[in-house]
Amino acid sequence: MIRTEDLGMVFVAGFMRKKVPALKGLTLDVKKGEVFGFLGPNGAGKTTTLKILMGLIYPTSGKAFIMDRPLGDVSVKHRLGFLPEQPYFYDYLSAAEFMDFYGRLFGIGKQERRERADTLLGQVGLSHAKDLQLRKFSKGMLQRIGIAQALINDPDLVVLDEPMSGLDPIGRKEVKDIILGLKERGKTIFFSTHILPDVEVICDRVAILVKGELKATGTVGELLGSMKALSVEMAVEGLGAEGLEAVKSLAGNAVVTDGQAVFFFDDPEKARKARSLVYEKGGDIVSLMPHRSSLEDIFVEEVRKGGQP
């Protein structure tokens, strides 16, 4: 659905006409029917990439294709839905009028426009505000109706720039549900975000962009699967004083309360030895939990390697 080949973008800034690279040889692909998370810190080039894909700006070098059509091919526009990072909407339209306007742009009939608008406003939690002017909307409400307008044409590909920005936890959940619902219907969703826990839950694949360069790409499982356990937490009951001291000698840290002890091991091998020792000393293991790197850990590591604090 999306393919880029060595995509580059250089901006010229200031009186001295200094060249500022925003993208450096970006090559990636987004497959049909998947949810693809595009990650990166501020200034990484995410919004620049999305603007190029939507035809709002033109790349300095490289190629990009939407649904196997080159950029600029207007025949795919009616199959796209797009929400920019900072959308601007006409303040004096009501939510219903706003949705009707976008439906008209796509040539949707009056009755179908009304039905789609009602359904989408309900999905984003704005049914109660359908007759309210947008100038009275909060930032979160504007974000929700922006998502609704991106779906008014029932697009095959939905591109969202920071769709969860400004939303409270309930709003974020609603957006996640919408994205997962679109996936179930066979839609493709490509979105940028910095809210990493949401990415782990809903994305099939992710890409990490730092200073315009692609640093990592793959499924969340692939990125996390190569990471070894960082630590192991083991909760134990029934150990006497001698057993506690023996296990504590292997642990990096321990919390002992009446009837139970929790040990933390920074070495999985020591955790295995401690497990055998617990049984040898007559104790019972209540739980054994390895702690592995999260997507956030990988993201931070790539950003730091890229030279950002």
pLDDT of residue 132: 96
- The CATH 3.40.50.300 portion of the chain extends over 2-225
Give, in order, the Cα–Cα distances in Å from 183 to each of 70, 159, 188. 24, 13, 6
Indicate the pLDDT class of residue 3, thresholds 50, 70 and 90.
very high
Which class would CATH give 229-292? alpha beta
> Is 131's pLDDT higher than 70?
yes
Q: How much is the pLDDT for 303?
A: 76
Q: What is the pLDDT of residue 267?
A: 81
pLDDT band at 79 (very low <50, low <70, confident <90, very high): very high
In the predicted model, what is the mean pLDDT of residues 199-217? 89
> What angle, rounded to 10 degrees, do the helices at 139-150 and 169-184 form?
10
d(CA 46, CA 206): 13
Structural tokens at position 259: 């009837």
Written as six digits, the tokens of 211 are 């200073």
Which residue ranges does the chain devote to CATH 3.30.70.260?
A: 229-292
- pLDDT confidence bin for 228, thresholds 50/70/90: low
**Using CA atoms, how far apart are residues 166 and 168, in angstroms rounded to an integer?**
7
* pLDDT of 9 over the 60 cut: yes
Distances 115 to 8, 109, 142, 306 between C-alpha atoms, Å:
42, 10, 20, 48
**Is the model's pLDDT at 166 over the cut of 80?**
no
Per-residue pLDDT reduced to its tens digit, 80-118: 999 998 888 999 999 999 999 999 999 999 999 999 999
The verdict on domain 2-225 having CATH code 3.40.50.300 is: yes
End-to-end CA distance of the chain: 34
Does this model's pTM top 0.85? My answer is no
Share of the chain above pLDDT 90, in %: 49
Which has the higher per-residue pLDDT, 231 or 246? 246
